[in-house]
Every structure is written in structure tokens, then in C-alpha cells.
């Protein structure tokens, strides 16, 4: 799939092009981190990588892999493999986040990068081509919008205890998403009442968006697959 151009992948808005862009962005960020730099700069870059990895993966687990299981031969086996990769990435990054001063931190981060690269390769080479085979360009763009919508409100931090499949991942992941995003933007010492308000509003909004998308992607096709 990597050799096909944008038109062959359904155009810029298709799920395949959106995935390709995120994968390329992650690759660039991981290379920049590995090239080294000032501690503060690397910490900011690491947080950007973590946010992109988990929002990207949560939207895959919620929107893409259920669709792929319906259309691809061996879809169950293929998606189970990437869900295992996501789980391993979750566990490793959770360990990094819990032990900021551990001397093994750099080596854990490098292991996480190796796993992320494997996940990207498996998706681009083995999973995503099944979506290209199964769907029209129009349908690929519609799946792309659903995936992007969920990604925009998905958790941004590791949650190894959350199931990797819907509905469990959405039921347990969505409330955490508001907390993750609050931690991403607000200081931990912010006034408690304001934090509680933001969490409530954020969780309700994210839950609404994600469950609407889940319902829409579960609807049977309309003859344009």
C-alpha cells in the first residue's frame, strides 16, 4: 500500500491517507527524539508522541478494527495482532510515565519506538490494504471522518487496564479521555471546582461524539462499499 499515491488510496480525506500522514508524523517525531537534544525539548516531544500514539490507536480500536473484522478474511487474527501490539505499547509507556527517574527510561522509550514502528508496518502492509479492497473511495473518506472524529476526543495517555475492543474500550476509555486532555492543558494545581466542571463537560462531550460515531459505523452499508 505504501507505494500507492493519494488518488489510489481514495484521496486526501480517506482513512488510508489520514493513517499514512499520522504514521509519517510519528516516524519524524521518533527520529527527532532519537537524534537527541536538550532535556526539556525531548520531554515536550515525548509528550507529543504519547498524545498522538494513544489518540490514534484508540480511534483504530473503536472505529477501524471492528470494520476490518467484518470485511477481511482472517480479520479477527489480523486485528488481534495489532491489538496485542497496542497493549504492549500501553504497558511500556505506562511504565515510562510512572517512573520518570528510572535509569531504564531511555531504553524503555526505544523499545516503545520499536513496537510503534512494528505496529505501523503491520497496519500499512497487512491491515489497511483490506479496507482499500473492500470499500469505494467515498466510503474510505466516510470512515476517515469517523476515525478523525473519535481521535479528536480520544484518550491521550496510556491506559493498559482499558479493554482494546468496543464497547469496553469506549465505556472505560471515554471518561478517561476528558481527564487526559485536562492534564494535557491545565496545571494539576488548578482550582478544584473549575477542574471538576471541565472534566464533566469534557466527558459528556467526548462520550456523545464517540457513541454517535460508533452507532454510525455499525450501521449496515448503504450499497456503496
Which spans of this chain sit near Fe ion (rule: CB under 5 A)? 19, 57, 119, 123
Instruction: Choose between 123 and 202: whose C-beta lies nearer to Fe ion.
Output: 123
The least distance separating Fe ion from the CB of residue 70, rounded to whole angstroms, comes to 18
Are 172 and 207 in contact, with CB atoms under 8 Å apart?
Answer: no
Decide: 158 and 50 in contact? Cβ < 8 Å. Answer: yes
CA distance readout (Å), 189 to 29, 69, 183: 29, 44, 10
Distances (CA, A) of 18 to 81, 96, 140, 147, 210: 21, 28, 10, 9, 18
CB 177 within 8 A of CB 206: yes
For residue 16, the minimal CB distance to Fe ion (Å) is 10
Of 126 and 137, nearer to Fe ion (C-beta) is 126
Closest distance of CB 7 from Fe ion, Å: 21
Residue (64 or 203) nearer to Fe ion, CB: 64
Shortest Å, Cβ 200 to Fe ion: 30
Is the distance from CB of 187 to CB of 37 less than 8 angstroms? no
Closest to Fe ion by CB, 59 vs 174, is 59
Q: How far is the CB of 140 from Fe ion (least distance, A)?
A: 15
Q: Which DSSP state fits 8?
A: G
Of 25 and 95, which CB lies nearer to Fe ion in the complex structure?
25
Burial category of 220 from C-beta neighbours within 10 Å (exposed 0-12, middle 13-18, buried 19 and up): exposed
Amino acid at each position: 500500500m505504501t507505494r500507492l499515491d493519494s488518488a489510489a488510496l481514495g484521496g486526501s480525506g480517506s482513512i488510508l491517507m489520514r493513517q499514512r500522514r499520522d504514521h509519517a508524523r510519528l516516524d519524524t517525531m521518533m527520529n527527532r527524539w532519537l537524534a537527541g537534544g536538550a532535556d526539556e525539548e525531548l520531554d515536550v516531544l515525548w509528550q507529543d508522541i504519547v498524545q498522538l500514539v494513544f489518540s490514534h490507536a484508540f480511534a483504530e480500536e473503536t472505529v477501524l478494527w471492528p470494520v476490518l473484522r467484518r470485511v477481511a478474511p482472517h480479520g479477527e487474527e489480523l486485528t488481534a495482532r495489532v491489538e496485542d501490539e497496542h497493549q504492549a505499547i500501553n504497558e511500556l509507556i505506562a511504565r515510562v510515565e510512572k517512573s520518570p527517574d528510572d535509569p531504564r527510561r531511555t531504553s524503555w522509550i526505544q523499545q516503545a519506538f520499536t513496537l510503534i514502528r512494528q505496529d505501523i508496518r503491520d497496519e500499512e502492509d497487512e491491515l489497511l490494504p483490506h479496507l482499500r479492497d473492500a470499500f469505494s473511495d467515498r466510503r474510505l473518506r466516510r470512515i476517515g471522518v469517523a476515525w478523525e472524529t473519535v481521535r479528536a476526543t480520544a484518550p491521550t495517555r496510556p491506559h493498559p487496564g482499558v479493554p482494546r475492543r468496543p464497547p469496553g474500550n469506549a465505556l472505560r476509555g471515554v471518561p478517561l479521555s476528558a481527564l487526559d486532555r485536562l492534564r494535557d492543558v491545565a496545571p494539576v494545581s488548578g482550582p478544584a471546582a473549575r477542574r471538576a466542571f471541565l472534566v464533566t463537560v469534557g466527558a459528556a462531550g467526548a462520550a456523545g461524539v464517540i457513541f454517535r460515531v460508533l452507532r454510525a459505523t455499525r450501521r449496515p452499508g448503504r450499497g456503496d462499499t
